[in-house]
């Protein structure tokens, strides 16, 4: 595996682990767990683009825009619903909006991120 791709996948794994550790801590910092879940998916999509030879990665955080870039490689269109769900939390976890992020919100986002990252990594490994 290419060194650059391996580094990106290491960060995907690190973000997923961080999201889970924070979630399981039951501290009221669930927004940070969701942030890491979002980051894991973003980095997984960018890693996938690297695996397809894309040299200049887009400097964006929108999971929906990134998904539109990888969709042509045979990803399930039904993933879009989960991506929209996870993406909808991004502004709320970055800045104070007055919304309380719950454990259940973070758990849903973690499960979404874990599933999406797993699908992407499987495609990377089966190229």
Q: Map out the domains of the chain with their CATH numbers.
A: 3-125 (1.20.120.330)
Q: pLDDT by residue for the chain (127 residues), tens digit each?
A: 799 999 999 999 999 999 999 999 999 999 999 999 999 999 999 999 999 999 899 999 999 999 999 999 999 999 999 999 999 998 888 888 767 899 999 999 999 999 999 999 999 999 7
Return the structure tokens found at 61: 């955080």
Q: Do residues 73 and 117 lie in contact, with contact meaning Cβ atoms separated by under 8 Å?
A: no
Q: Virtual CA dihedral for 65, 20, 108, 70, nearest 10 degrees? A: 20
Considering just the CA atoms, what is the radius of gyration of the chain in Å? 14
pTM higher than 0.85, yes or no? Answer: yes
How does 62-76 read in b/e, with b if 16+ C-beta sit within 10 Å?
ebeebbebbeeeebe
């Amino acid at each position: 595996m290419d060194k650059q791709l391996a580094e990106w996948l290491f960060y995907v794994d690190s973000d997923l682990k961080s999201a889970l550790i924070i979630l399981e801590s039951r501290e009221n910092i669930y927004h940070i767990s969701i942030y890491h879940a979002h980051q894991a998916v973003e980095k997984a999509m960018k890693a996938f683009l690297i695996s397809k030879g894309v040299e200049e990665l887009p400097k964006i955080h929108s999971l929906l825009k990134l998904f539109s870039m990888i969709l042509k490689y045979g990803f399930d269109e039904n993933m879009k619903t989960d991506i929209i769900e996870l993406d909808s939390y991004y502004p709320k976890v970055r800045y104070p909006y007055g919304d309380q992020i719950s454990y259940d919100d973070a758990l849903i986002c973690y499960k979404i991120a874990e599933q999406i990252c797993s699908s992407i990594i499987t495609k990377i490994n089966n190229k």
